[in-house]
Amino acid sequence: MQSTDYRTLTTDEIKALESNGCSAADWRRVLVRDPFDPRNVRETTFQGDARVGRLGGKGPSPDGIGRPSAICGANLHDCSIGDNCRIANVNGWLSRLDIGDNALIENVGTIACQGETTFGNGHEIPVLNEAGGRELKITRLTSAQVAYLTVLYRDRPALVAVLNAMADRCAAAMRSNRATIGSNATIRGAPQIVNVRIGSSAVIENALSLRNGTLDSSADAPVVVGDGVIAENFIFQRGSSVTGGAVISSTLIGEGCRIGKTFSAENSVFFANSEAFHSEACSVFCGPYSVTHHRSTLLIAALFSFYNAGSGTNQSNHMYKLGPVHQGILERGCKTGSGSYLLWPCRVGPFTAVIGKHHANFDTSDLPFSYIAEEDGKSTIVPAMNFFTVGTMRDAEKWPARDRRKHPDKLDLIIFDALSPFTAQRMLRGRDLLARLAQTADKDQTYVTVNGIHIKRLLLKTCARYYTLALDKHFGDVLLRRIAQEAPRSLADLLQPDPAGEDGTGEWVDLCGLLCAAKRLDALSREIADGTIASLESLHLALRRLYDAYRPDEWNWFLAQLPNIAGNGAQPGSPSAVRQLLDKWKDSSLKLLNMVEGDARKEFEGGVRIGFGIDGNQDADFEAVRGTYDGNKFVKALRDSARAIIQKHDQACRLIGQGG
């Protein structure tokens, strides 16, 4: 609103306001917008400058209770109030606020801006390593990828310096001595809100204390802060929900996250669609879809993404020597079982399940899709087996379906593929490692040890074959996806590099949800370090280009692997080689489904029926609650997938001119 939209009060209006129990240090500094009716302002104190928008119409109604827009029982200091707001029962002061249209503020204490503030933007936290050295300046525009580069790439000081400068500029743009409450925001029952920027459509219900933070809310992705929440030095990004007595300190809560049920977090970040209830986090970097639901769980000084913490999960980062200087990495898709324990430092490869208590320091990054367990005090690993379980397949399917982010411009860029060049490279290295160990291990050995963890010698060849099965499936998936995308005129036409992709050589990295070729990331890092990319907004655009390049780069990486996967002496790229690849894809995919179906069958056999049929009829009671194996929706989907695999295989074979 422009200043011309407002006018000073008339003498009669001032008298009417005073008769309504209102007072002002100087009525000349109270401006109103026509039409103005003094009956809509009662028992209100004005100090400093005030602007009051149109009142008297239908006010905000977030709970279906009709409220007229009015100001009743409020203390206002240097406030600007939009149209159709309702402000009632302010026991403290509303001070230095710009309040948008249709806002509802009632039964609150003090909501104020005290001095200049950046509303939590630029606040520095010691994430991942509790002792410091990996500090992150959180802002409303901090994405999982920006945080990853800042926190994990400390060996590139020029890059980190520029990223920190970007965060500083973002914070400087937010700096103000006035706080904003956006249009259609609802604030009720909050005793204290100080130096908090509240976006449009935000909902704050009975939060105890909010200090120095940002609710980056929007109409299509409201931020919700609920009962008993205490938060300081925080950023709550679009669509996040923090409720149930959560205690948040120096923490960023990302888009679509759900935090509550007395969860506490300090010096941590949680990115897209993460969930944290009951438990505790300290200096953790939780990438997208990190989940902890259990009261007895402590997450400390670690990197997670697509992670699920079992009850009683715990870690140690302190050896009582030089302080809490250690850290852990659980790569995408890992799980920890109930009562699990890890002694940092450790690094666990992608999609690995960790069971038991582990006091060894190990690195299994080249052995993805594994089981890590404790046997006779030793940390042991069964490589590849977790690929063939129901849980891993369900996880890969559920993550895209559980994306709660509503805003069209999503901050975190996520590639959901469980099988990708990133995991395939790890499996290739893992397969070669297992094969070498099988050749060199002494036949009298029960275990072989690699990177601090034990593998049973008799499992080496079997697990290497399992990696081959998974790789056969991945390569076939890539080929079939390309066929469906391109509808090629010929095989030669199909097997052309994608001009939008890299040359296909080199490593791949997981940039906390964004899978990309390392050479692209290196190029991006140089552009940041030399100042070519100078703002968080332009950095997000550059990261989007990496995201868009994933499929072309994946295809070119696949083409680079063809000489190694043709098999049986076939010429790479020949019809017979492609046919072999498709045959291996069909066989491996069907074996995978059979193994997953066998894993699912365990949920219907043996001791799982204990606890059913308390007074008899155990089978009938079990089926009434759990259903039957053949009628299970997931099992039916597996069988449908098997039929689809055969159909896809036959269609692709016909397309390359080799018949069904």
pLDDT in tens, 254-297: 999 999 999 999 999 999 999 999 999 999 999 999 999 998 89
554 and 436, same structural domain?
A: yes
Is residue 302 classed exposed, middle or buried when 0-12, 13-18 and 19+ CB atoms within 10 A define those classes? buried
Domain annotation covers residue 554? yes
Does a structural domain hold residue 528?
yes
| 561 and 581 fall within a common domain | no
| Position 306 in a domain | no
**What domain range is 507 assigned to?**
410-444+458-565
pLDDT in tens, 42-56: 999 999 999 999 999
Q: Inform me whether the pLDDT recorded for 504 exceeds 90.
A: no
- CA dihedral defined by 142, 146, 148, 153, rounded to 10 degrees? -130
> Residues near 509 by Cβ (< 8 Å), separated by ≥ 6?
422, 515, 516, 517, 518, 521
Tokens at 503, concatenated: 């040359």
Residues 416, 517 share a domain? yes
Query: Is 228 a residue whose pLDDT tops 90?
Result: yes
| Residue 12 forms part of a structural domain | yes
Does 530 have pLDDT greater than 70? yes
The alpha-helical segments, DSSP class H, found in 252-409 are: 390-401
- Of 281-290, 413-422, 630-639, where does mean pLDDT reach its minimum? 630-639
What is the average pLDDT value for the chain, to the nearest integer? 92
Specify the pLDDT at position 610: 85
Across-strand partners of 437?
none
What is the per-residue pLDDT across 371-417, written as a single tens digit (0 to 9) for each? 999 998 899 999 999 998 877 777 777 899 899 999 889 999 999 99
How many alpha carbons fall within 13 Å on the CB side of residue 501?
20
Asked whether the predicted pLDDT for residue 7 surpasses 50, the reply is yes
Q: Which of 543, 565, 587 is the last residue of a domain?
A: 565
Assigned domain for 58 exists: yes
Same domain, 597 and 632: yes
pLDDT above 90 coverage of the chain, percent: 76
Any domain includes 90: yes
End position of a domain, from candidates 52, 80, 112: 112
**414 and 491 share a domain?**
yes
Tell which of 523, 544, 565 closes a domain. Answer: 565
Using 50, 70 and 90 to split pLDDT, how confident is the model at 35? very high
Give me the residues paired with residue 616 across strands: 614
**Distance from CA of residue 507 to its chain's centroid?**
24
pLDDT at 659: 37
* Stated pTM of the model: 0.93
pLDDT value, residue 166: 97
Give residue-wise pLDDT tens across range 73-94: 999 999 999 999 999 999 999 9
Proportion of the chain above pLDDT 70, given as a percent: 97
If asked whether residues 540 and 585 sit together in one domain, one would say no
Query: What is residue 488's predicted lDDT score, i.e. its pLDDT?
Result: 66
In angstroms, the CA 237 to CA 640 distance is: 39
Q: What is the pLDDT of residue 593?
A: 83
CA–CA distance, 347 with 362 (Å, rounded to integer): 6
* Pairwise pLDDT comparison (435 vs 613), residue with the higher score: 435
Q: Is pLDDT at 619 greater than 60 in this prediction? A: yes
Q: How far is it, in rounded angstroms, from Cα 171 to Cα 138? A: 9
Kindly state the tokens that stand for 335. 């799980």
| pLDDT of 660 strictly over 50 | no
Same domain? For 469 and 556 the reply is yes
Whether 632 and 613 share a structural domain: yes
Q: 637 and 505 share a domain?
A: no
518 and 621 housed in the same domain = no
Least confident among 101-110, 160-169, 544-553, 631-640: 631-640
pLDDT at 338 over 90: yes
Domain identity same for 493 and 426: yes
Q: Which two tokens stand for residue 548?
A: 């868009």
Does any domain span residue 268? no
Q: How confident is the model at residue 218 (pLDDT cuts 50, 70, 90)?
A: very high
DSSP type of residue 345: S
Q: How many CA atoms lie within 13 A of 405 on its CB side?
A: 22
Q: How far apart are CA 290 and CA 311, in angstroms?
A: 14
Shared domain for 470 and 605, answered yes or no, is no
End-to-end CA distance of the chain: 70
pLDDT-derived band at 657, boundaries 50, 70, 90:
low
What's the pLDDT tens digit per position in 570-595? 566 788 888 889 999 999 888 888 88
Our count of domains for the chain comes to 3
Q: How far apart are CA 413 and CA 410, in angstroms?
A: 7
Please check the confidence at residue 320 and state whether its pLDDT lies above 70: no
- The predicted structure's pLDDT at residue 206: 98
Q: Is position 266 within any domain?
A: no
Residues in the chain: 660
- Evaluate if residue 597 carries a pLDDT over 80: no
- And the tokens for 164? 């920190």
Res. 601: pLDDT tops 90: no
Cα(596)–Cα(177) distance, rounded to whole angstroms? 59
The pLDDT assigned to 658 comes to: 46
Q: Residues 228, 206: contact at Cβ < 8 Å?
A: yes
The pLDDT tens digits of the residues spanning 536-571 come to: 999 999 999 999 999 999 999 999 998 887 655 556
